[in-house]
Structure 1
Amino acid sequence: MLSAKSLFKEILDNDEAFRLFCSIAASGESQGGWENGRIAALVPPGERALAPKIARHGADEDKHGRIFTALMKKRGLTPVAVPPETDYTMLLERHGIGLAHDKLRRDEPLTERDIVVYLSHSRVTEQRAAEQMALLFGHFAGHPEVGRALRMISDDEDDHLAYTHEELLRLAAAGHGRLIQRTLRECALAEIRVHRDVSLAVMARMGRILGWSRARYALLAAGIHAVYAYERLAGWRRMVTLRMPERRDPLGGPATPAPEFA
């Protein structure tokens, strides 16, 4: 039977598949760490109070990258180059989602509008990350190799998602509500397309490594397309709603270290 649990177990049990999975994850997290670090350094004067939270977000992402790298190292594996068609972060930038890297490389302060764009992009992508990590943690919480890592990353992603809700609601109250809703919708619709394309590319790579039949891959691809169809029709709306989180100021302190992994 095909399920998220059975598919991830296949990946866990195969060194080459696990190496590809961790390499893709580590690369994306490290890229997110760099982006948040640059944004924290360039926040406009009126948003300086946000800089430590953005820096904390970046530190968490860097930590996650180190965790995935450490999981490979424990098996004696080294990272592999990330195939371009599986590079979620790069593909989002190509679709114009978030702040362009050339802007972040310049030492010019961002604008308040840039901060709205950054937080809206983060709101959408952190929704995806939180859901995926919660799913994996729900199935593999007790796994001796990855259980602790999944718990730590899942907890962090929940905090990141809560932080974006809180900050966007603050900016909406300050008069940016229409811009936020428009930007959230644009980000969500672009993200679901990128997620579909990356999912298909990753499954194709995994299928070759794990020796899946054409019929099995076709069934998985059909499932990915079905999820996309649902998200394109209505599921994207969960990515654009805003509500005050139960835990306030979730990124108000220092990043949690991960000495057992890094």
Structure 2
Amino acid sequence: MLSAKSLFEEILDNDESFRLFCSIAASGESQGGWENARIAALVPAVERDLAPKVVRHGADEDKHGRIFNALIKKRGLTPVEVPGDTDYTMLLERRGIGLAHDKLHRDEPLTVQDLVTYLAHSRVTEQRASEQMELLRRLFGDHPDIGRAVKMISHDEDNHLAYCHEELLRFAYAGHGRDIQRTLRECAHVEIRVYRDVSLAVMAHMGRILGWSRAKAAVLAASIHAVYAYERAHGWRRMVSLAMPDRRNALGGPAASAAEFA
């Protein structure tokens, strides 16, 4: 029977699919690390207290990238080039989600509206990341090779999501509520389409590596389209709600070390 666990086990057990999976993950995390580092450097003086949290966010993302690369190295493998159709962060930027890279390359302070855009984008994408890592933690938290990494990254992603909720609510109380809700809705609707497209691309690449039959590939594609149909109708709403998290000031300290994975 085809299940999420059997599918991931098949990917993890094959060297080529494993290194593609980890390379895609490492690339996305490293890109997030760079973006957060640039945002932290450009935070306006009026929001200087936010900068250390953005730095911590970026440090966590960099750490995750190193962890995925270390997992590849541990298998005696090297990273592979990430196919363009699987590059989630790049595809989101191309569709106007988040802060444009040309803005981040300039040495001009961001505006408060820019920070609202950044946090709304992060709230949506961290929802996805938190859910994906929670799934992997449930399936492989006790795995001898990847279990420790999965649990560490899952914990961090939950912190990132809590941070986004708390900071967006702070901005909402300061009078930015309408802009936040509008931006969240726009980001969510684009994200679910990009996530569908990337999921289909990843499964197509994995299918070629693992030699999946047309029937198996069709079942997986149908499942991805079914998830998209649900998210387009109802599921996107979970990405735009805001509630004060149980984890307060989740990014208020230094990032935990990933030295054991290096």
Return the alpha-carbon distance in structure 2 between the equivalents of residues 109 and 2 of structure 1: 50
Instruction: Report the alpha carbon displacement of residue 3 of structure 1 after superposing the two structures with TM.
Output: 1.4
Which residue is 2:41 aligned to?
A: 41
Return the alpha-carbon distance in structure 1 between the equivalents of residues 254 and 92 of structure 2: 28
**Are residues 1:114 and 2:114 paired?**
yes
Instruction: Report the alpha carbon displacement of residue 258 of structure 1 after superposing the two structures with TM.
Output: 1.0
Identify unmatched segments of 5+ residues in structure 1.
Answer: none
Return the alpha-carbon distance in structure 2 between the equivalents of residues 101 and 224 of structure 1: 29
Return the alpha-carbon distance in structure 2 between the equivalents of residues 142 and 255 of structure 1: 23
Which residue is 1:182 aligned to?
A: 182
Superposition CA RMSD, Å: 0.4
Instruction: Report the alpha carbon displacement of residue 200 of structure 1 after superposing the two structures with TM.
Output: 0.1
SS, match of residue 257 in structure 1: coil
After superposition, give the CA deviation of every residue in 1:101-134 in whole Å (9 maximum; x if it has no partner): 0100000000000000000000000000000000
Which residue is 1:21 aligned to?
A: 21
After superposition, give the CA deviation of every residue in 1:149-176 in whole Å (9 maximum; x if it has no partner): 0000000000000000000000000000
Which residue is 2:78 aligned to?
A: 78
After superposition, give the CA deviation of every residue in 1:173-214 in whole Å (9 maximum; x if it has no partner): 000000000000000000000000000000000000001000
Return the alpha-carbon distance in structure 1 between the equivalents of residues 21 and 199 of structure 2: 12
After superposition, give the CA deviation of every residue in 1:39-92 in whole Å (9 maximum; x if it has no partner): 000011111100000000000000000000000000110000000000000000
Q: Return the letter of the residue paired with 1:19.
A: R
Describe how 1:157-168 pairs up with structure 2 within 5 A. Answer: 157-168=157-168
Give the number of equivalent residue pairs: 262
Which residue is 1:229 aligned to?
A: 229
Query: Normalising by structure 1, what TM-score?
Result: 1.00
Return the alpha-carbon distance in structure 2 between the equivalents of residues 237 and 171 of structure 1: 20
Return the alpha-carbon distance in structure 1 between the equivalents of residues 54 and 2 of structure 2: 38
**Are residues 1:169 and 2:169 paired?**
yes
Describe how 1:129-168 pairs up with structure 2 within 5 A. Answer: 129-168=129-168
Q: Return the letter of the residue paired with 1:90.
A: M
Return the alpha-carbon distance in structure 1 between the equivalents of residues 247 and 97 of structure 2: 28
Which residue is 2:198 aligned to?
A: 198
Query: Normalising by structure 2, what TM-score?
Result: 1.00
Return the alpha-carbon distance in structure 2 between the equivalents of residues 3 and 140 of structure 1: 14
Which residue is 2:128 aligned to?
A: 128
Identify unmatched segments of 5+ residues in structure 2.
Answer: none
Which residue is 1:88 aligned to?
A: 88
Which residue is 2:61 aligned to?
A: 61
Instruction: Report the alpha carbon displacement of residue 95 of structure 1 after superposing the two structures with TM.
Output: 0.5
Instruction: Report the alpha carbon displacement of residue 259 of structure 1 after superposing the two structures with TM.
Output: 1.2
Give the 4+ runs in structure 1 shifted more than 3 A. none
Return the alpha-carbon distance in structure 2 between the equivalents of residues 2 and 241 of structure 1: 33
Q: Return the letter of the residue paired with 2:25.
A: A
Return the alpha-carbon distance in structure 1 between the equivalents of residues 5 and 104 of structure 2: 38
Instruction: Report the alpha carbon displacement of residue 4 of structure 1 after superposing the two structures with TM.
Output: 1.2
SS, match of residue 260 in structure 2: coil
